[in-house]
Amino acid sequence: MSDTLPPVRPGTADAARPCAPSPPAPAHPLAGLALGFIGVLFFGATLPFTRIALEGFSPAFITCGRAAIAALVAGATLYLLSRPFPRKHTLSLLAAGILLVYGFPGFSSVAMQTVPASHGGVVLGVLPLMTACFAALFGGERPGLAFWTWSAAGAALVIVFSLSGADIEPGIGDVWLGCAALSAACGYVISGKLSRTRPGWEVISWALVVTAPLSLAGTLWTWETGIRAPDAYAVVALAYLGLGSMFAGFIFWNWGMAIGGIARVGQVQLLQSFVTLGLSALMLGETITAVTLGFAVAVGFVVWCGRKAKVG
């Protein structure tokens, strides 16, 4: 098979400079899962930091502000590296941006007003199963029966854990979390597909840039009503949501999905619930019990078994 790049038509945005291929897949078979897990570590801190940021900012300002922060960094990076804009992927980038830049952050910020971060982290444990469903529907992947079995088992464990906690009654916060999960799962598949054609950092960067006008406008619109005398902790939390959750985490997550498969790497996110639980205990003083640790081990076992299941 030839390693040469296909010819580029003159006059297109990509003609100025051929798009660099996605980073080559490392030789180790667990590389995609490892990269995905690094992304999960970034994502796992999202809900605790959102709870802290809500002490000084409104949900609307957090949603727009974190996106604006990430867009400025992403735009500067693309400019310094002279990356050409991929016009043919404009609609896909816009869709990914709406879902990941506004959908998940907006719904989860509203949810964090009524539910603890630890509870929210567990409810979002259904994300991997949703991601696998969307990957099968329009991601071009065909998971086998064994994969679906392990995926459903992992989701069931997380749901059972959520219902057995008895720390909070199901309510409107869970509805918002469900909307956040749907937005994230669909956005993951779109960005994962795009990451097969270009580096993962470039995908999230362009998604942030194409939605930047909305982010900046929303930040200015909510400036007067969305800032509530934040302390240093709230400011740091907002900065993390923009630079960590919204930008750095997606670099590793998209790269992992590109080389390991969207559905398979998506199962690593079963562990995100327990990353969130651990950070909630450290940052917010929420309690972690032996039952929680037991479920964490069980979910880890499911992810380990599911990694070998067939995905076409």
Higher pLDDT, residue 140 or 72: 72
Higher pLDDT, residue 68 or 271: 68
d(CA 224, CA 99): 26
Radius of gyration of the chain (CA): 19
Q: Check residue 69 and give its pLDDT.
A: 95
Higher pLDDT, residue 299 or 12: 299
Beta pairing partners, 57: 227
> Of the ranges 133-137, 198-202, 237-241, which one carries the lowest mean pLDDT score?
133-137
Span 163-181, pLDDT tens digits: 665 455 556 777 888 888 8
Span 25-43, pLDDT tens digits: 444 557 888 888 999 899 8
Higher pLDDT, residue 186 or 140: 186
Residue 18 scores a pLDDT above 50? no
d(CA 312, CA 307): 13
Task: List the alpha helices (DSSP H) in the chain.
Answer: 31-44, 46-53, 59-80, 90-97, 104-111, 117-123, 127-138, 145-164, 172-194, 200-210, 212-221, 223-226, 232-240, 249-260, 262-266, 272-284, 290-306
Span 183-220, pLDDT tens digits: 988 888 888 888 888 888 899 999 999 999 999 999 99
Cα distances from 117 to residues 47, 165, 245, 277, 286, in angstroms, run 5, 13, 15, 8, 9
Q: Check residue 263 and give its pLDDT.
A: 72
Most distant CA atoms of the chain, gap in Å: 63
- Cα end-to-end span (Å), the chain: 22
Span 6-15, pLDDT tens digits: 444 444 444 4
d(CA 173, CA 193): 31
CB contact at 8 A, 268 and 33: yes
d(CA 154, CA 306): 9
Q: Check residue 141 and give its pLDDT.
A: 66
Q: Which of 300, 304, 269, 289 is nearest to 123 (CA)?
A: 269
Taking all residues of the chain, what is their mean pLDDT, rounded to a whole number?
Answer: 79
Span 72-124, pLDDT tens digits: 999 999 999 999 999 899 999 999 999 988 888 888 888 887 777 766 776 67
**DSSP-assigned states of every residue in 219-272:** HHHTHHHHB----HHHHHHHHHIIIIIIIIHHHHHHHHHHHH-HHHHHGGGGGH
Q: Which of 35, 36, 306 is nearest to 156 (CA)?
A: 306
